[in-house]
Amino acid sequence: MSGLSHWQLDGSAPELYERYLVPAITAKWAADLVERAAPRPDDKVLDVACGTGIVARLASQRARSGRVTGLDLNSGMLAVARKVSGNGGAIEFIEGSALDLPFASGAFEVVLCQLGLQFFPDRRKALREMRRVLSPGGRVAVSVYSPIEKTPGAHAFVDALDRVLGSEASKIKRGEHSFRTPRELEELLRDAGFAGVKVNTVVQRIAFPSVLDYVRFQLLATPMAALLADRPDSERQAVIREVASEVTDLSAAAMLEGGTFSFPQEGYVGTASAASH
């Protein structure tokens, strides 16, 4: 799975991700995704590319007597997911690939995938696997980011990163925004055999206490930490401050009101069902 090797966070990165980026960003998308999928109390739910488990935790609150499983390739993220789930083992976290789900056909009533599909080396195969493990009439909900130009904070960040570290520095971050239109996600879901496909354009408001906080956690708590991993801490902090200064220069005044860093973040959220036989 070399195509996903850059997502192997280790050290303190998964803990930082859970502590800072989940509340600021991914919890918002998770709440939206789970609400659209609407797990019932006895549903069996699979969260693909679960990371530190925010989607699985929210789904577990709704599928109270069902079973929730989180799957991810990243052992460090899964370790944090198990630690913070705090539900006596009601959620099972498994290390595995979205391209070869280790579950029987028809094993789940709901499959969720938040902000992971864009990174899979074979998106079609991953979606076919999600379709395979859904029971007849089961539901899928998938979210991806839209073009980075539609999320001004991230757009300023990648431009600043390239200015400071060179034109390849932002490759991973730009890869998060590789879906150009809602139709791309719609066609992938249809090609995978899903019915009743619907894709909505959704906007969340993201806010960090400062530009420096946003840049710090992007460069320390995501796969982009690899950009600075071989540098001494003093040099890492200097680069973070330089990138933050560039982001401030590139950002519109409305994003910087009151010293905070706030901007709209756009994504596409697709829902569909596995047709009953």
The Cα 276–Cα 52 span in angstroms is: 32
7 pLDDT more than 50:
no
pLDDT given for residue 6 in this prediction = 44
Per-domain residue ranges for the chain? 2-150+177-206+263-273
- Own/partner long-range contacts of 15-20 (Cβ < 8 Å, ≥24 apart): 15/80, 16/217, 16/220, 16/221, 17/51, 17/52, 17/77, 17/80, 17/217, 17/221, 17/222, 18/52, 18/80, 18/84, 20/213, 20/217, 20/221
pLDDT per residue over 94-115, tens digit each? 999 999 999 999 999 999 999 9
1 pLDDT more than 80:
no
Which pLDDT band holds residue 275 (cuts at 50, 70, 90)? confident
pLDDT per residue over 191-248, tens digit each? 999 999 999 999 999 999 999 999 999 999 998 999 998 999 999 999 999 999 999 9
Which pLDDT band holds residue 276 (cuts at 50, 70, 90)? low
Alpha carbon 37 to its chain's center:
16
Distances (CA, A) of 61 to 78, 91, 240: 19, 10, 38
pLDDT given for residue 11 in this prediction = 55
Compare 88 and 49 and report the one with higher pLDDT. Answer: 49
Which pLDDT band holds residue 5 (cuts at 50, 70, 90)? very low
Percent of the chain scoring above 70 in pLDDT: 94
pLDDT per residue over 120-173, tens digit each? 999 999 999 999 999 999 999 999 999 999 999 999 999 999 999 998 999 989
Q: Which of 155, 138, 150, 262 is nearest to 201 (CA)?
A: 150
pLDDT given for residue 87 in this prediction = 59
CATH superfamily of 2-150+177-206+263-273: Vaccinia Virus protein VP39 (3.40.50.150)
pLDDT given for residue 63 in this prediction = 84
Q: Mean of the per-residue pLDDT values for the chain?
A: 92
